[in-house]
Amino acid sequence: MRMCIGLAVVSLLASAAFAANSSLEPLVKVLDQASDPAVQRDVLVGIHEALADRRSVPMPAGWESVYRKLDKSSDAQVRYEAMVLSLVFGDAEAIHSMRTLVGDPHADLARRQEGLAALVQAKDPDLVPLLEKLLDDPQIRGEALRALAAYPNRHTAAVILRHFKKLSESDKRDAVMTLSSRAPSAMALLDAVANGDVAKQELTAFNARQMTNLNDAKVDDKLKEVWGPVRGTSKDKLALLAEYKAKFTPDVIAKADLSHGRLVFTRTCGVCHTLFDSGGHVGPNLTGAQRSNLDYVLGKVLDPSAVVSQNYRMTIIRTKDGRVINGIVQQETPTAVTLVAPNETIVVQKEDIDRQKVSDSSLMPEGLLAGMSTEEARDLLAYLASPSQTPLPGGTASAK
């Protein structure tokens, strides 16, 4: 019965008849009359699901008194769901309460993470100071780093780079993704690489390509200085293929460190691809590919856009405040576009989009091997060709 109520709510709000707050008023009355927390939860969750890609909705009549009632509920989820919904309705008190929850290191971590996502979705204009403080909180640091990408704050790059050396490997990936999404912070990142404050291997080919998509001449010049050319000609790719084939002979590959190769895979390819039992799901699963064929592997790595499935074509979005996002479109509605990027799923409001285009390029960038040492490239190629999973360095069987 309760499930039916939730589904009915979603159906009502997702229908073409849903315009704005007028369609919410009957549901507000249901919440006002309901005394069963289970029913209240179902209605609230159903509303959230139906409004998932909307930044804000006008507050419906009667909500303020209903919120006061729900905020006193003995059920923690009812209180939380009501707070999130008030945030969508632009309630300043709910926004303040949510910031307090997110900043509380003793609060439930899942609630903090969900609350932070809700504040970012609502584009809370006063969130940046809290995000900067959260960089000192290992529990939620990754979410804070990713959230900072949504704000064109001139202090962001300096704050992130000040924390950079103490970040975990996954947090460093999030930091670099955020820094490479806007021209000013990309310049600060490249300066840090040039100065030796950030190791060059912390940049991936994906980051390099994202910076080229900023279409900023100064960023392009600095990127060529510290990284090298991002896109090669067909002639260059053929030359590279011959060079790598000559360098990585079967005898050389036989000396590879497979555990180290898996570590390199985790840092680069594994963000998007699964091999055996670990990795991401943005790109195709590599477990069944022609991995033992060096020509095939090198061809895919050196020229990933030669043949691109429609499902894996990259979409590039530039927001009105200068952020560039590269990813694969997961969903598009009249109000928002949901993109899957290597480190997160991002909902972009259409009202915030300056330009959106589908590229002929694969989400996988060129230059994957360019930023690696000979040993790293050798170990990665050997791991990609291995017939079975190998432990990470130190004997760990699964990636954390």
Listed as ranges, residues in the chain with pLDDT below 50 are 1, 3, 6, 10, 13-21, 399-400
Q: Name the 3-class secondary structure at 197.
A: coil
> Up-side HSE of residue 134: CA atoms within 13 Å toward CB?
28
Does any domain span residue 62? yes
374 & 288 share domain: yes
Among all chains, which residue has been given the structure tokens 């100071």?
Answer: 129
Give the distance from CA 84 to its chain's centroid. 22
Does any domain span residue 400? no
Predicted pLDDT of residue 19: 43
Domain count, the chain: 4
Burial of 55 (0-12, 13-18, 19+ CB in 10 A): middle
56 & 84 share domain: yes
162 & 268 share domain: no
259 & 380 share domain: yes
267 & 371 share domain: yes
Predicted pLDDT of residue 182: 97
Predicted pLDDT of residue 8: 53
Predicted pLDDT of residue 395: 64
Does any domain span residue 96? no
Does any domain span residue 399? no
12 & 33 share domain: yes
Tens digits of residue pLDDT in 337-355: 999 988 899 999 999 999 9
Predicted pLDDT of residue 313: 81
DSSP secondary-structure letter at 94? Answer: H
Predicted pLDDT of residue 9: 52
CATH code at position 285: 1.10.760
Domain boundary among 182, 201, 226: 226
147 & 201 share domain: yes
Predicted pLDDT of residue 277: 80
Q: Which two tokens stand for residue 274?
A: 């699964």
Please name the residues in contact with 348: beta carbons below 8 A apart, sequence gap of 6 or more.
Answer: 317, 319, 325, 336, 337, 338, 339
Domain hosting residue 193, numbered range: 138-226
Tell me the C-alpha distance between 21 and 25, whole Å: 7
Which amino acid, one-letter code, is at 224?
Answer: K
CATH code at position 346: 2.30.30.100
Domain boundary among 179, 202, 226: 226
Does any domain span residue 101? no
250 & 325 share domain: no
66 & 155 share domain: no
Domain boundary among 226, 250, 272: 226
Give pTM, 2 decimals. 0.78
Predicted pLDDT of residue 4: 52
353 & 239 share domain: no
- The side-by-side arrangement of strands in the sheet containing 324-332 is 345-349, 336-340, 324-332, 313-319, 353-362
Contact assessment for residue 181 and residue 210, using Cβ atoms and an 8 Å cutoff:
yes
Does any domain span residue 110? no
Predicted pLDDT of residue 78: 94
Q: Which two tokens stand for residue 340?
A: 């899957």
Contact assessment for residue 87 and residue 95, using Cβ atoms and an 8 Å cutoff:
yes
Does any domain span residue 114? no
Crossing angle of helices 294-302 and 234-247, in 10° steps, is 140
151 & 202 share domain: yes
Backbone angles phi, psi at 266, to 5 degrees: -60, -40
Does any domain span residue 122? no
255 & 381 share domain: yes
